Chain A
C-alpha cells in the first residue's frame, strides 16, 4: 500500500489586482504559506510522496526570491516531491525550473519532471508516467504515450499530467492541452493525478483533479484542498480523500435590497464574516437615503474585518423618502426639483450609478451646509 498526496495549481507569484494592494499582498502570501501547511499535512499523514500536477508557478520569470521561498516552504515534508511543469511553468528550454536548478535551491527530495517519460521509485514500487508540458499550449494529447509506456511488473502505475479532460470540464471545449477522459483505463493506470482545474474534481474513479491548494477565485468548486490518495495494491481502485489545507474562503454575494429590513438581514450576514473571508459583494435594488448609507457603512465595516473585499453598489438605486427630502431642506425651491430629477434618472441604467452617487453627495452636502448655517 502507498499513500500519495495529490496537489496542483499552486500558481506561486499570482497577483490579485481586483483588490487593494494591501489585501492583494496577503492573498499572494497565502499561496506560499499553504504550501508549508500542505507539507505539514503530508508529513502528518505519513504520505509516501507528494505529486504536484503542474502550474506550480504562475509565471516563468518570477524573482529568485520567489523561487527560493517556494522550495523553502516544502521543507516540512521529507519524502519525495514530484513537481510537474504545467502550462504556466512549461519545461521550455529556459524556464523557471532551469533557473531553480541554477540557483541550486531545489532540495534533493524534490524531483523536477522536465521531460515526458516514466520515473520509477523502486523503494515505493511506484512507477510514475509523466507528461510535463514542454510548451505553454499543445493541441495534442500529451498523455497519449501513457498507453504504451513500460513499467516494471507489479509496480503501482500512476499518471501525472496537466490539462483539460475533454468533454468533462465546463468551458473546456477546444481548450488547449487536452487529455482523453479514458486515459486512466487505456493506459492501465492505478491513478491519474491531474492539474489545471482549480477545484478538487473526480473525473472518474481513477482520474482526479486536486484543484488549487489555496483558493484564488470566486468559484466554490472545492478549492483549497489536497487529495490523499491511498493505493492498496496495483489494479485496485484508489481511495481518494480531500483534505482542507487552504487558508482563505472566497465568497461572492449578489444581494438585492428591496425593503429596509433587507438591510438588517445583510448587516447580520456581513457581521458573521471573519478574517479568513474574501468577499465580493454586489448590492442591487432600491433604498432610501438612510438605508443606502447604512449599506455602505456595513460594507466598509466588513472591509476592515475580512481579508479582502470588493464591493459594487452601482446598481443600488437611492430613493429618498419625503421625510428625507425635507430633512435635507430640499422640499421646495429648485433643490427639491434636483432631488426629483436625480431620483428619476436612476431608472436609466446608463445614468443610475452617477445619479445615485449624486443624490448621496447632495444629502451629505446639504446636511453639512445646513449644520454650518
Chain B
C-alpha cells in the first residue's frame, strides 16, 4: 500500500487546508516542533480510514480555531497497482471512494474499505481499539508505541485471517467474538474457572437432588409403613390365637394345685414349731432333774469315799498298834542288853583299878625304899659335916681349916643332892608315902578277884552302844505311841463323817424324794425320745414336700401368667397403635406422593440431562474452537518470530524473543538472560514495540494485505546507538513498506537518506 497524496482541511491543527503530495514508496519524514500538527496528520489519515463518516461524537476533530468547521480528509493511495481516492468529511457526513473508475459512496465505500484494510467499523460511535485491526496495529499514535500487547491482541484475529488467506481461505474475522458468545452461553450453565454447574443448571441439579432426597425420605416412610403393615397382620393373627388359647389359664390351674400343696406345707411347718417347742421345754425339765440327781449322787460317792477312808484309817491304826508293841519289846530288850553291858564294863573297871593300885603300891614301896636310903645317906653326910665343922671349930688348924671348909662345901652339896629340902621333908614324904601304901593296900584288898580278862575299852564301847540302842528304841516307842494315837483319831473322824453321810442318805424324806425323781427322769427321757422322733418325722415330711421349689414354681407360674396376659394386652395396644399409625400415613397419600416424586425426579433428570448435553456441546465447541485457534496462531508464531528476530539484530546482538498466543511478545532473551517485556526500560519497550510492528507489517505483507506504517515521535527514549539501530531497522522495513515518520527532533533523523518535510514550511506554503 502506498499513500500518494493527503489533503487535510478544517481538522484539528489545520483550520485551513494542508496538501501533502509526492509521498515516496519508502520512508517519509515529517518534522516540526510541538503543536505544529505532526500528530494531526497521523490522526487525519487514521480517522479517514477507520472512523465512520457518520460519527458525531468525535468533536475533538474540529479545529480549535474554527469550531464550526467540518473536518475533511482526502487520501489518494495505491494497493497492488490499483489506485484509490478516498474523500471523507465529518459532521457534514460524506464518504466517497473512487476505485477502478467506480465511485463507491457512504456505507458501501466504508464497508469496502474495511474489508480492504482489515478492520471492522464500530457498529456505533467512534472506533474502539478492538475494531482498529491492522491500522490500529501499524499506525501508532504518539506515546502509545510501547503498548504493543494490547494492540497486538486486538489485531490477532486479523493476523490469523492473514494466515488463513495464505492457506487459500476466505477472510472472515470475528471468530474470537464467536468464542466469547459460546463462553457467555456456557458460563450460564457452568462456572468459568472450575466448570462446576451454575445458574439454571445448578438450579436444575439442586432441584433434582432435593426431589431425590425428598423421595428417599418418603421411601423410608413407606418402608416403615410396610413394616408396620406386616407387623399389624402378624400381631392380629397372634392376638386372635392367644385370645382363643388363653395360655394363662393353664398357668393359673397349676398355681391353684400348687397353692393346696403350699397350705399342707404350712401346717407341717407349724407342727414342727410346736414339737420343737415341746421338745425344748421337756429337755429343760429333764436337765434340771438330772442336775439335781447328780448332786445327790455326789453324796453317795462321798459316803463311799468316807467308808474307804475309814477302812484305810483302821488299817493304819492296826498297823500302829503292832508297831507300838514291837517298840515296847525293843525297849525291854535294849534295857536288858544295856544292863548286861554295864556289868561287864564295871568288872573290867575293877580289874583295871586293881592293876593300877598294885602298880601304884609298888611305886610307893620303891619310893619309900629310896627315900629311906637318902635319909640314911643325908644323915651320914650330915654327921660328917658336923664332924668337920667341929674340927674347924678347934683353932689352929688354919691350913687344914680351908680343906675342911672345902670338904664341908662338898659335903653340903652332897647333902643337898640327897636332901635338897632338908632331911625333914624327906622324912615327911616318906611318911606320906607309907600311909598311901597302906591305903592302897587296903583298897586293893577291897577289890574282888577278877574272873576273866575283859578289855575295859571294848566293854565301855559295848555299853555305850547298848545305851544308844536303848535310847533309839525308847524314841521309836514314843513315835509309835504318837502315830498310833493319830491313827486312832483319824479312825474316829472317818467314823464320824460316815455316820453323818449315812444318816443324811438314809433319811426317809430324802430317800422318797430321790426315788420320785428317778421315776420322773425315766418319764422325761421317754418323752424327749418320743418328741425327737416326731420332729424328725415332720422334718422328713417337709423335705419331701420341697417347700422352696414349690414357692419358686408358684412365683414362676404367676409371672408366666402375668407375662402372658400383659403380652396380650401389649398386642391389643400394638394393634391399636399400628392401625392408627397406618391410617394416618395412609391418609397422607404416601404412595401417591412417591409416585408424583418419581415422576418429578424423572422430569428433573431429563431437564438436567438436556442442560448437561447443552453444556457439553458448548464445552466441546469452546474447546474445539480454542484448540483450532491456538493451532492457527501456532502456525503464525514461527514466521512472526523469525521476522521479529530479523529486526532485533539491528538493535541487539544475540537476542531472541518469545511470543504468546495472541502473538504479542512476552520476553526477550539476550545471551543467557531472559527479560520479560514489562521489566525492560521504557526505551527498550518502545524499541521492541516498533520492531514488533515492523514484523507484523512484514507478515501482513506476505499474506498480501495492504501495509502502511506510521510512527509518531518515536525514538525519544533511545540513546544514540540504539537509535541508529532503530533507524537501520526502519530503513530496512522501508524497502518493503511505506513508512510515515513524524518527529520533533529532525536532527535525530538527519542521516536517514531522505529529505524531511517541515511542517512549518508546508503550512507556510499552504
Query: Which A positions have Cβ atoms within 8 angstroms of B?
Result: 13-21, 24, 58-64, 66, 92-94, 96, 99, 102, 314, 329-338, 341-342, 345, 353-355, 357-358, 360-362, 365-366, 368-370, 372-373
Contact = CB atoms under 8 A, between A and B. Distances in A.
B582 to A, nearest CB: 4
Contacts of B613: 314, 353-354, 357
Contacts of A357: 613-614, 616-617
B594 A59 contact: yes
Contacts of B587: 63-64, 99
Contacts, number: 155
14 contacts: A16-B599, A24-B599, A61-B225, A61-B591, A61-B592, A331-B170, A333-B175, A334-B625, A335-B178, A341-B624, A341-B628, A358-B617, A365-B182, A373-B174
Contacts of A342: 620-621, 624
Given A59-B594, A342-B624, A334 B603 contact: no
Interface residues of B, number: 57
B628 A61 contact: no
A357 B613 CA distance: 8
Contact of B585 (A61, A66, A361): A61
Nearest to A370: B174
Contacts of A366: 178
Interface in B291-320: none
Contacts of A16: 599
B181 to A, nearest CB: 5
B591 A365 contact: no
Interface string B576-620: 000100110111111110111011111100000000011011101
A62 B629 contact: no
Contacts of B185: 361, 365
B602 A17 contact: yes
Contacts of B618: 358, 361
Given A64-B587, A338-B625, A13 B164 contact: no
A20 B182 CA distance: 28
Given A93-B232, A329-B172, A365-B185, A338 B598 contact: no
A93 B620 contact: no
A19 B607 CA distance: 11
Contacts of B590: 61
Contacts of B169: 331-333, 336
B246 interface: no
Contacts of A60: 586, 591
A358 B233 CA distance: 58
Given A61-B589, A102-B583, A21 B233 contact: no
A14 B592 CA distance: 8
Contacts of B621: 338, 342, 358, 361-362
A108 to B, nearest CB: 23
Given A15-B596, A96-B586, A332-B172, 11 more contacts: A59-B591, A60-B586, A61-B588, A92-B229, A94-B232, A94-B579, A329-B174, A333-B161, A335-B178, A342-B621, A358-B617
Contacts of A368: 181
Given A61-B588, A64-B587, A338-B624, A17 B172 contact: no
B181 A358 contact: no
A93 B233 contact: yes
A326 B427 CA distance: 228
A64 B591 CA distance: 12
B289 interface: no
A102 B583 CA distance: 9
B624 to A, nearest CB: 4
Nearest to A360: B617
Given A365-B178, A369-B181, A333 B586 contact: no
Nearest to A357: B617
B229 A93 contact: yes
A198 to B, nearest CB: 17
B591 A13 contact: yes
A335 B175 contact: yes
A333 B172 contact: yes
A334 B631 CA distance: 8
Contact of B589 (A24, A66, A338): A66
B592 A59 contact: yes
For B171, B174, B600, the residue with the greatest tally of chain A CB atoms inside 10 Å of its CB is B174
Interface string B615-644: 011101100110011011000000000000
Given A15-B599, A92-B229, A334 B181 contact: no
Interface in B155-177: 160-161, 164, 167-172, 174-175, 177
Contacts of B707: none
B603 A21 contact: yes
Contacts of A341: 624, 628
Contact of A338 (B167, B594, B595, B628): B628
A63 B592 CA distance: 7
B7 to A, nearest CB: 32
A137 B532 CA distance: 78
Nearest to A89: B591
Given A63-B592, A64-B589, A99-B587, A20 B603 contact: yes
A335 B172 CA distance: 10
Contacts of A64: 587, 589
Contacts of B285: none
A157 B465 CA distance: 169
A365 B167 contact: no
B120 interface: yes
A169 to B, nearest CB: 24
Contacts of B174: 329, 369-370, 373
Contacts of B222: 61
B236 interface: yes
Contact of A373 (B120, B591, B595): B120
A19 B599 CA distance: 8
B599 A17 contact: yes
A174 B164 CA distance: 67
A299 to B, nearest CB: 14
A361 B179 CA distance: 12
A92 B624 CA distance: 61
Contacts of A61: 222, 225, 585-586, 588-592
Contacts of B625: 334-335, 338
Contacts of A58: 591, 595
B583 A99 contact: yes
A102 B586 CA distance: 12
A102 to B, nearest CB: 7
A220 to B, nearest CB: 23
B603 A358 contact: no
Interface in B302-353: none
